[in-house]
Structure 1
C-alpha cells in the first residue's frame, strides 16, 4: 500500500482524481471517491491553501501550433534576493517561456521556451543575457524532441489507468482561430475555469465554449488537464535525472516501457544536446530516490553512459500555451 505521509487519505483520493482530469467537477469527484461535494470542495481548497496544489494547467500540444521547445539550464550568480527575483519575474513575464524552475547541481535555473524557429529562440535568449549580463553565467541549451507526461501514479494504491500525454515532436500543424486561441489561453492559466466563466469573458455562449473545447480535444490540441503540484509540500523529494546514452541509435524501448510503469517517474523529456533524456522523479525520501537512481543505472547499464540526479526546488511558471500567440 502506498504511503503519502504529507497527505490525508481523502486528500490522496481527491489528488488522484485531479491527476486524471483536473477539470472534473467536484460532484463527479465526490461520487468517484465516495465523499460529499462539500468535503471534496473543502479538500481542494485545503490543498491549494497548503500550496500542495499551486494551480491547474492545460496540456496543450504546442507542436500542433507549429512551435518548437528549447530548454536552457543556467547558473545564476547570486547578487541578492531582490536581483534574483527580478530575473525570475522577467522570465515569468516573457511570453515565450513555458516552464521555469530552480534546481540544484551545477546550474540554478531551468527555463523552457516555445518559439516558431531556432532563430527566434536565439534572439530571445540573447536578449535575456544582455538584460542580465552579471547574473546569467554558464548555460546549456537543449532542443526538446518530445515530452511524455505519465502522471503521479504513486497517488494510487492500485494500478492506475492514468492516460499518458505525449506532446511535441513531428506533428501536423492545424489552423486555430482567434476564439479557440483565447480559450486555450484562459484554460492554460486556469484549467478549472468553468464554461460559464469562459463564455462571459469571451462574449459567447457556454454551449459554444463546451463545443469548442471538445473540438480542441478531438483535434489533439488539448491533451489533458493536470494540477500543478509542489511535491515538497506533501513531503516528497522532486528531482531531475539527466541521462546521456552510450549511443542514441541503441534504441531504448525497454527503458521507455520501464519508466512509463515506474510509480515515481512522472515525466520524461527526450532532448538533443548535452544529454538525451530528462526524467522528473518524485519520491517519498532521499533513500527511495537513490534506490530509483541505482536501479536505473544497473538495469540499463548497456544503454546509459551517465546519469546525473539534481534536485528540483520551486516551479515559478508552467504552461504549454505559447502566450505570444494570444496578443
Structure 2
C-alpha cells in the first residue's frame, strides 16, 4: 500500500496539480513543477499503474442545465455480499445517478439522483423498489440543494473550493455539446483528438465546445479520482443539527480554511450542516470533530457521522 506518508514530495505535488485541473497537458504540469515532461509522464503512469489514481472526471453544475439532486441513504436487509454488489452495480449503471457510495454506519449505500422534476425520481425509485424491495431496510430521502467541493490538496488550502448545483437554470445544450459534456463527465483528461474521434465532431469544434462549457460555468472543474485506501485515507461524513441557524455562514467560513475538508453539502430534510473530511486515521477525525464541538458548542444541537468506505461512481452528467 502506497500510503500518503510514503508518497514522494513530487508525487504529492503532481496529484495536487492534477486535482486542480487534470486537463493540463503533461508539458504544462512539468513547467509548473519545474521538471522535465518525461518525469511527469513516468510518475503519472506510475500513479495510475499503482491504482492510486483511478480516473478523471468533470465537476458539472447540473443546476444550470435544469436539474436538481435527490439524495438517498439506504440500509440493506437480508442481502448477501453478492446481492449487495448486484444492487450497487444496478445503481452505478443507472443513467440518472451521479453519485454512488458504500457506507459504514447507520446506512449501507448513499446515492444522489439527477432529476428535472420530482416525477423523474418517482420513476427511478418505483423501478428500483420493484427490483429490490425485499432487501431494502430503512431509507431517508431528501433534496440535495448545493455542494461545495474542494481539491484534495496535500500542501495548501488556497483556491481549493468549487461551489456548484445552486439555483436551477435552464441552459440549453446542442446535441454536440451534450456528447462532449457526457464524455468529459467521466473521462475529463481525454485528449481533444480522442473526443473528436469518439463523438464524430471536429477537433476545432470540440475545443470550442469545451471552452464554452467552462465559460458558461457548466463545467466547474476537471478533477481526478483517488483510491483513498491506497493512500491510507478515510472519508468521514459529519452531519450537524443546529439550534442556531445564524452560525451556518461562520461554520462554512471556518470549514473553507480546513486542510482536510472535501465536501460541504446543503440539503433539505436531513442535517443542517453536512461536511466530509478526508483523514489519515480515526484520531485525526475525532480531533476535527471535537474542534467543531468546541468552537460551535452553543450552536450544535446534535451530531452523527459515518464513513464512505468506497465511492463507486461520480458522473455528474449523462446524455
Coarse TM-score class (shorter-chain normalised): over 0.9
From 307, 314, 319, give the equivalent of 1:318: 314
1:303 Cα deviation (Å)? 2.2
Distance (Å, rounded) in 2 between the aligned partners of 1:217 and 1:291: 38
SS of structure 2 residue aligned to 1:59: strand
Unaligned runs of 5+ in 1: none
Unaligned runs of 5+ in 2: none
Contact preservation (8 Å) 2:176, 2:201: no
Contact preservation (8 Å) 1:78, 1:84: no
1:192 corresponds in structure 2 to: 189
From 170, 173, 178, give the equivalent of 2:170: 173
SS of structure 1 residue aligned to 2:22: coil
From 209, 212, 219, give the equivalent of 2:209: 212
1:183 aligns with 2:180: yes
In 2 relative to 1, CA 141–286 (structure 1 residues): closer, same or farther, beyond 3 Å?
same
1:281 corresponds in structure 2 to: 277
2:220 corresponds in structure 1 to: 223
Question: Aligned pair count?
Answer: 317
2:252 corresponds in structure 1 to: 256
TM-score if structure 2 supplies the norm length? 0.95
1:138 Cα deviation (Å)? 0.4
For 1:130-156, what per-residue CA distance to the aligned partner results, in whole angstroms no more than 9, with x for missing partners? 210121210011211110012123x11
1:44-193 correspondence to structure 2 within 5 Å: 44-153=44-153, 155-156=154-155, 159-193=156-190
For 1:168-212, what per-residue CA distance to the aligned partner results, in whole angstroms no more than 9, with x for missing partners? 121432111100000000001200011111112222221211111
1:121 Cα deviation (Å)? 0.7
1:78 Cα deviation (Å)? 4.8
1:246 Cα deviation (Å)? 1.6
Distance (Å, rounded) in 2 between the aligned partners of 1:247 and 1:105: 27
SS of structure 2 residue aligned to 1:32: helix
Contact preservation (8 Å) 2:67, 2:168: no
Identify which range, 304-313 or 91-100, moves more after superposition: 304-313
Runs of at least 4 residues off by over 6 Å: none
TM-score if structure 1 supplies the norm length? 0.93
Contact preservation (8 Å) 2:75, 2:137: yes
1:31 aligns with 2:28: no
In 2 relative to 1, CA 302–122 (structure 1 residues): closer, same or farther, beyond 3 Å?
farther
For 1:17-47, what per-residue CA distance to the aligned partner results, in whole angstroms no more than 9, with x for missing partners? 0111011111111111122222212222222
1:40 corresponds in structure 2 to: 40
For 1:80-100, what per-residue CA distance to the aligned partner results, in whole angstroms no more than 9, with x for missing partners? 222111111100111100110
